[in-house]
Structure 1
Amino acid sequence: MIRIENIHKRFGEEEILKGISTTFEKGKTNLIIGQSGSGKTVMLKCLLGLFSPEEGRIFYEDKPIQEMDEEEQRDLREDIGMLFQGGALFDSMTIEENVMFPLRMFTNNKKEDMLARVNEVLSRVKLDGVNKKYPAEISGGMQKRVSIARAIVNKPKYLFCDEPNSGLDPKTATVIDNLIQEITHEYDITTVVVSHDMNSVMEIGENIVFLKNGLLVWQGTNNEIFKTDNQDVTDFVYSSDLFKKIRVVQQKEG
């Protein structure tokens, strides 16, 4: 579980996050959504410790990151898996080497033990036999699955995903969404996904935080988001082409 209390983040005179408090639940896919400029990415970077809020605290379980010493911060980094927007695979490394990279960085495991773990997570994302290929030799959807394998290879307690469906076709995006949710449930991870994709909200939004202009204006589930009377939320939901069509159908049937 991750809990944030009244965090504020400013850059110069501009306040980006304006007193946000919420909880991201363990074993659930927690989504941060909102329009561009709403504060999603800044919030993610605060959660990762890349930005320090001027006010407020961020707790991992019951420990605020502001009070962690150097050793505790290192331990926390080992507990975090990160799925970057573009995948961020190393082009010069094979798939096997890419997935093994966090193990080399954070563990002293033997080579055969690391390789066994790499094969285990590649199998989990249905990519058996691609070890010696390079990222350029596989599809975008397969690259994203490799990135997921790398993110979970260290058995993280927390998984962060930044726009995981960016650049993917709808069918492949659904596969990635479902895989993220399956892994979250299977390993009981606290997963936080930053997204603007309403398909992701509909598929895996078990706990949704909606930001607007640096404020948390709504929180709920993917079932509740279609029933809310919050105008900011409904404007966002029905701004996508898919949900414009859904609304037209609903109005005709109503």
Structure 2
Amino acid sequence: MIEVDNIHKSFGEFHVLKGISTTFEQGKTNLIIGQSGSGKTVFLKCLLGLFEPEEGSIIYDGDRYADLNKADRRELRQNMGMVFQGSALFDSLTVEGNVTFPLEMFTNQSKGEMKDRVDAVLERVNLIDAHKKFPAEISGGMQKRVAIARAIVMNPNFLFCDEPNSGLDPKTAILIDNLIQEITQEYNITTVINTHDMNSVMEIGQKILFLKDGLKAWEGTNKEIFKTDNQAVTDFVYSSELFKKVRQMYIEERN
């Protein structure tokens, strides 16, 4: 679980995060949504420990980040898996090499132990025969699955995903969404996803945090988002005709 209490983050005179408080629950897919400039990326970087808020606190499974010493912060970061927007794979390494990389950097496992772990996570993301391929030789969807495998190879307590569906076709995006949700539940991870994809919101939004101008404008589930009268949320969610029709269908069914 991650507990966020009244965090503020500024860059010079630019006040980006303005007192955000929320909780991200373990074993659930927690989504952060909002327009460009709403503070999503800065908020995610605060959660990752890349930015430290001037005010407020972030607590990871009971440990307040501000109270941790350098060694404890390093250990916490090793308990975080990250799926980057562009996958961020090493082009010069094979799929197996990319997934092995964190184990080589942060553990003292033997080569046999590392191979067993890499085989297990690649099998979990349905990449059984891709070990020796290079990123350029596989599809965008497969690259995302490699990125997910690398993110979970250290068996983290926290998984962060920045626009995991960016650049994917709708069918592949749904597969990645489902994979992230399955892994979250199976590994009982606290997963936080930064996204603008409304399909992701509707498919896997067990907890949704909507940011606007650096403030928490709304939070709830993908079921509750249809019921809200929050104007900022409805303007964002139903900016497309498709979701306007979905909302109307929901209202008609309720009546």
- In the TM superposition, 1:145-224 aligns within 5 A as 145-224=145-224
Structure 2 gaps, min length 5? none
Letter in 2 for 1:6: N
Q: Is the 8 A contact 1:91 1:134 kept in 2?
A: yes
Closer, same or farther: CA 20–252 of 1 in aligned 2, 3 Å: closer
**SS of match in other structure, 1:150:** helix
Look up the equivalent residue of 2:111 and give its one-letter code: K
Q: Matches of 2:156 and 2:228 in 1, distance apart?
A: 34
Distance 1:133 1:55 in 2: 46
Shift of 1:78: 1.3
SS of structure 2 residue aligned to 1:30: strand
Percent identical among aligned pairs is 69
* CA drift at 1:77: 1.2
2:68 alignment counterpart: 68
* Cα drift, residue 249 of structure 1: 5.9
Distance 1:131 1:240 in 2: 41
* CA gap 1:51/1:215 in 2 versus in 1, 3 angstroms: same
Deviation at 1:67, TM superposition (A): 1.1
- Are positions 1:236 and 2:227 aligned together? no
Residue 143 (structure 1) aligned with residue 135 (structure 2) = no
Residues in 2 aligned to 1:251 and 1:216: alpha-carbon distance in whole angstroms: 26
Q: In structure 2, do the counterparts of structure 1 residues 252 and 180 end up closer, same or farther at CA, with 3 Å as the change threshold?
A: closer
Query: Any residues of structure 2 matched to 1:10-25 within 5 Å, and which?
Result: 10-25=10-25
For the residues of structure 1 that align with 2:33 and 2:134, how far apart are their CA atoms? Answer: 33
Structure-2 separation of matches of 1:251 and 1:5:
35
Letter in 2 for 1:3: E
Corresponding residue number in structure 2 for 1:86: 86
For residue 27 of structure 1, what is the aligned residue in structure 2? Answer: 27
CA drift at 1:242: 2.8
- Deviation of 1:241 (Å): 4.6
**2:225 maps to what in 1?**
225
1:46 corresponds to which residue? 46
Runs of 4 or more above 4 Å deviation: 247-254
Q: Kindly state the Cα deviation for residue 252 of structure 1 after the two structures are TM-superposed.
A: 8.9
What does 1:101-112 align with in structure 2 at a 5 Å threshold?
101-112=101-112
Distance 2:71 2:170 in 1: 42
Cα distance in 2 for partners of 1:125, 1:206 equals 21
1:205-250 superposed Cα distances (whole Å, 9 cap, x missing partner): 0011100000001110000001111111111110135314435667
What TM-score, normalized by structure 1, do the two folds share?
Answer: 0.97
Q: Indicate conservation of the 8 Å contact 1:198/1:240, yes or no.
A: no
Give the match for residue 2 of structure 1: 2
Residue 102 of structure 2 aligns with an amino acid whose one-letter code is: P
Q: Are the counterparts in 1 of residues 226 and 247 from structure 2 also a CA contact under 8 Å?
A: no
